[in-house]
Amino acid sequence: MDNSSWIRSGKFRLGARLVDDIDEVRVREARSEPFRVKNLPRDSCVKRYPPSLSDEVWRLENIRKDGPFHKRLSEKRVNTVEDFLILLSLDPTKLKTIIGSTMSPKDWEVLVQHARTCVLDKKLYSYNDSGVVFNVAGEVMGMFRDGQYVTTDKLSKAEKAHARDQLVIYAFEHRDKILTLHDETTLNPPPSSLPSSSTIQAVQIAKSKRWWDVLLSVLRWRSSIKKIRASKTCVWAIREEDDDLDALLSSFRQ
C-alpha cells in the first residue's frame, strides 16, 4: 500500500530545525529529498484475491471502506460480494447507476473482473415450479423442460432472456420459496438408474410367453366352437363368437 498516493505530489519530505539556537549560533533548517513511503496494509482494509461470497463489498477493487462507493452500495443493501454478483447478473445497469458516474469505465471493469474471480459453490437453486435453475450469483444454468433438465447451451435466446429477466428476478424477490438442488449431477437420473438391456430382454420374454399362452387359449376356444357348429340351432351365435375372436386376435397382434 502506497501512503504517498494520498497526497497530490505522491511523495513525502522530512524536515528538521532546532527549537533554540546554540550559543547564539543559528542552525539552518534541513529537509530531505522527496521520497515515497510504503507500508504493509492493515487486514481491516486489505482486498481479497479471490474474494469470497461472504466478504464485505469493500473488499473488492476500487471500493474503499467507508468511501462514497461503499456508502452508496450499503444504502441499496449491497453489503457483500454475493449481493454485488447477484445484482451484477440480474441488473448490471442498476448496479452501475448505484456506483455512479464518478467511477471511470476502466475502474468499473477492474471492479467487475475482480468480483467475478470469486469462487462460487456448486449448489444450484430453483424457484418453486418455475422450472428455472440458477447458481448462487443468479446466473441461469438451465431449465426443466418436460421433466428433464436442459442446460443453458441448449436453450434458445428467448428462453434464456425470459429466465434471466423474469423468472430469476422474481425468484430473488421471493427467496423464501427458492429450492436448493445441490449440483447438476442430481438433476437428471444417472444412466445406472435406467433399465439395463438384460432387464428389457426379460420383460420382452415375459410378454412373448404371455402372448403364446393367450394364443393357445384362443386356439382351444376355436376348436370347441368348431364342434358346436354341427348344431344348426347355434349358427348365428357361433358367427357372433367368431367375430369376437377375430377382434380379440387383432388386438393382440397389435
Q: What's this model's pTM, rounded to 2 decimal places? A: 0.55
Identify whether 49 is part of a domain. Answer: yes
Domain hosting residue 163, numbered range: 124-183
Identify whether 31 is part of a domain. Answer: no
* pLDDT tens across the length of the chain (254 residues): 445 555 666 677 888 887 776 777 777 888 888 877 766 555 567 888 999 999 999 999 999 999 999 999 999 999 999 999 999 988 899 999 999 999 999 999 999 999 999 988 888 888 876 788 888 888 998 888 877 888 888 888 898 888 888 889 888 888 888 888 776 666 665 444 444 445 445 545 555 556 556 556 656 666 665 565 555 444 444 454 445 545 544 554 44
The partner residues of 30 in beta bridges, in order of sequence, read: 16
Identify whether 109 is part of a domain. Answer: yes
Q: CA 8: distance to chain centroid?
A: 45
Other beta carbons within 10 angstroms of residue 86's beta carbon come to 22
CB 208 within 8 A of CB 232: no
Pair 110, 89 in one domain: yes
d(CA 229, CA 224): 9
Pair 115, 128 in one domain: no
Domain edge (last residue) among 87, 119, 151? 119
Pair 115, 130 in one domain: no
Identify whether 146 is part of a domain. Answer: yes
